[in-house]
Structures are given as structure tokens and as C-alpha cells.
Amino acid sequence: MGNLKQVHIAVFGAGGVGRHFLTQCSQLLSKHPNASVVLISRSNRSLRVPSFNHRLSLSTWEQDLAASHSPACSPSEIIHFLSSAPGKCIVVDNTSNQDVAASYPEFLKNGISIVTPNKKAFSSDLKLWQSILESAYPGNELGGLLYHESSVGAGLPIISTLKDLVDTGDQIQKIEGVFSGTMSFLFNSFAPIEGNGGKWSDEVAKAKNAGYTEPDPRDDLNGADVARKLVILARLAGLQIESINSFPVQSLIPKELEQCTSGDEFLERLPEFDGEVEKVKAEAEQKQKVVRFVGSIDVVGREVKVGLEEFEKSHPIAGLKGSDNIISFYTKRYGSNPLIVQGAG
């Protein structure tokens, strides 16, 4: 940033993720006075500067946004607004909104860079993925830059590691790991290497109370979040995966509970089905193994899958702690000794 005269930042989403981003942004921009936040838009209202000579206050933005009478901005309105900005422009999308994701090609074609954790932009329609890459630099020499590291593995360097391997000529053979902090926490508690662990329904409730799951735990237990991450990595590794419906994804939601009207109702009835998951754990224990919820991409065999698998207790995946993620890259260069990225996810 130090070499640029001006950088203007527009922010989509000011909820949990957006709030934390703006806190970090305030600290960062105090060191880079040439950069400023010029627009914040959430689902029901927005806040913007009257001109690009101004900047939004990152110490009072929550009060200012709450007092604003301006409606939420559409992607096309933000493109129009930023088109007259002097200097470079960045859109930070903190949402999981499909409509915002679908607008990425237009932002990029207009030279507006994108930073986002929004998995839907990169794991939904294959044509959208291709359009995003074609619109961004270097696919388009005049396009904006694209960064979505946190769409897989939160703050872990998963995407950048994979891109570096591919760009330096390595051949990806397989990617395997635990891609969900929620699922990691659940199975590390339910089926630990040592000890018996708790009841499945108790561990799910514990995870929810600790803030590891979505408000409705079914949004984690259905496997869709892990599947989206695998689509992103598989595409970066060279596989043309159409969508998360293109490969098997194991759901841990009992069919009888799929129609529960709320997460609370789901948790109330979940103990009825503890025996089913307990049986899976017991079968693994008889083999001196543990069960974990993992995703794998067999690039050579062109197969992707998400679900429960058994691992020897000495395996790195079996030995995870807390909510850690672990992703193993098996490549021609690394052979049978994979490159492993591990940490909080």
C-alpha cells in the first residue's frame, strides 16, 4: 500500500465477520493513511462518504451506520460509485450472499479488486468460477486482483500453498484433511485417542454452546460447508467440478430430523439417535482406530468425497486437538511424505 497514492475500500457485510474485519482494518489503516474505507453496506442500510476526499470513521462506524437512512447498496450501485474514485478500489465481501458473489466478474472487469471469505463465489456454478478467473488479473490484464484465502481454512495458508505448488510445476495427486473446525472439535471430543468421549448429542450441544457451530447445527452436520471447500481446492488443482452435488457428501443429520423446524428442536431430539453414531465409533475402536469427518480429493482418480473415515491412532488426522484443521497435500514432489498445513480453522 505504501507505493499507492490512494486506495478506497468498500465493505459488504457488517455483521460478525464484518465487524471483526473493520476492527482489524482500523488498526491496519492507521499505518497506511493513503487507504480509507469509503462505503459500508449491510442487508438493510448503508453508509458512504460524500466525496472521495473524505473517509468513514472506523471508531464510530457502527453508530453512524445505525443512524443512516440510506438503503443497502446493490453491487451495480457500488460499481457505479467506485467508478469515479481516484486511485485503486477494493471490495471486501464479508457475506455469504450468492447475488454478491455473482457480481464478482463485473467488479473485476472494472478494475476493482476483491477480498472475500465468501465460498459461494468459488464453489457454486462452474461457469461463474470460470468467469471470475477470466475477469481477474492476470486472466484480464486490466482486471482487479482476487484474494479468497479465507474461503478455505479460515486464516490458514491453504489456497496460497496449493497455488504455489501448482505454479511452480508440482503435480497434485491427492488432498486430504479435516476442513471444518466444528467437525474437528466434535470428533476430537466424541472419539478421542484416549478415553471414551461423551455422548454424540452432548458433544453437539457443547459445541453449539461454545460457539463452534452455526445457530442451527444442521448447517455444519450436513457436510455442505466442507464440500464447498473441496470444490474450491479441486478446481484450483485442475478438476472441473460442477458443484457440491457432483460427488458424495455424507450428512450426519438423521433423516427423521431433517424437517425439524428449528435448531433447538433438532438438539432436543438428537439424543434419540446417539446409538447410530456410537456404533460407528465402536466399530473403529474394535480396530484400534478412531473415526473422523474428512474430505479428500483424488486428483489422479478424479474423485472427491466428504464423510466419516477411520484412521490409525498414530495418523496426524487422528491426533488433532480442539478445533484445529489439518490439510495434507500429496504431490509428485513430496511423494508419500505429504506437505501438511495445520492450525486453527
Catalytic entry in 208, 229, 281, 289: 229
Taking each helix axis from N to C end, the angle separating 181-190 and 200-209, rounded to the nearest 10 degrees, works out to 140
229 assigned to active site:
yes
What count of other Cβ atoms lies within 10 Å of the Cβ of residue 43?
12
The cell for 44 is 438493510
- Please count the other Cβ atoms lying within 10 Å of the Cβ belonging to residue 110: 16
State the burial class of residue 337 (Cβ atoms within 10 Å of its Cβ: 0-12, 13-18, 19+): exposed
214 grid coordinates: 452455526
Burial 129-143 (b: 16+ CB within 10 A, else e): bebbbebbeeeeeeb
Tell me, what DSSP letter sits at residue 143?
S
Instruction: Give CA separation, 150 vs 45, 134, 205, in Å.
Output: 26, 21, 26
C-alpha to C-alpha distances, 249 to 31, 159, 218, 219, 224, nearest whole angstrom: 45, 22, 14, 13, 7
The catalytic residue positions are 229
